[in-house]
Amino acid sequence: MLTREAIPHLLSNGAALLTPEALDVAASKTFHHTIDIYLKDSNSFMNTYFARYFEWQGICRERWFYECIDNNLLGAGGAFVTKRAHQEYVQETFPFQRVDCYLNTVKVRQCSAYLLFRFYVGGRPVSMGYQQILFAGPDKRIRRFPAGVIERVTEYELDLPSDRN
């Protein structure tokens, strides 16, 4: 069972599993999005603000939802809610670098899923993170994913070694 503590462990110790090459085998689909870093994203030392990585998770998630899951999620009778989010920093990034963002899902259930994010610059990992998302109705109560959504989300699910037992 993938617990709250298991995901950071996977990110910290499973970097080889989370490379784009490994994901081609471990999931039927991997979403890829590119983000450019600008001066506004950095501090006086030219390091990217740590909060931008969470912003990138949101940007990548929104683009994935729109392009791959449903381009009218606001009309689905509810909303996706982030229950938890985590980010592991591997290497600094700087303005004018291009960040390749890769998204896959883990532990897709009827009402929730984990989104796994890997960020690379020049083919080198710079950060990895996750979000646990839930679907909630207009009354803010947790509900099952809308019809057809779970099938599309599952196409991006990683086949992790712990899942194969």
pLDDT score at 45 = 84
Contact 81, 145 (CB under 8 A): no
The angle formed by the CA atoms of residues 25, 27 and 31, to the nearest 5 degrees, is 115
| pLDDT tens-place string over residues 32-82 | 999 999 999 998 889 898 889 999 999 999 999 999 988 876 666 788 899
Percent of the chain's residues with pLDDT above 70: 78
pLDDT score at 89 = 87
**pTM (predicted TM-score):** 0.83
Mean pLDDT of 92-98: 95
HSE, side-chain direction, 13 A CA sphere, residue 107: 17
pLDDT score at 118 = 93
Mean pLDDT of 7-26: 53
Domains of the chain: 6-158 (3.10.129.10)
pLDDT score at 165 = 46
Quickly list DSSP for the chain: ---TTHHHHHHHH-TTTTSHHHHHHH-S--EEEEEE--GGGB-TTSPBPTHHHHHHHHHHHHHHIIIII-TTGGGGSSEEEEEEEEEEE-S---TT-EEEEEEEEES--SSEEEEEEEEEETTEEEEEEEEEEEEE-TTS-B-PPPTTHHHHHHTTB---GGGG-
Measured between alpha carbons, how far is 36 from 48 in angstroms, rounded to an integer? Answer: 11
Contact 88, 11 (CB under 8 A): yes
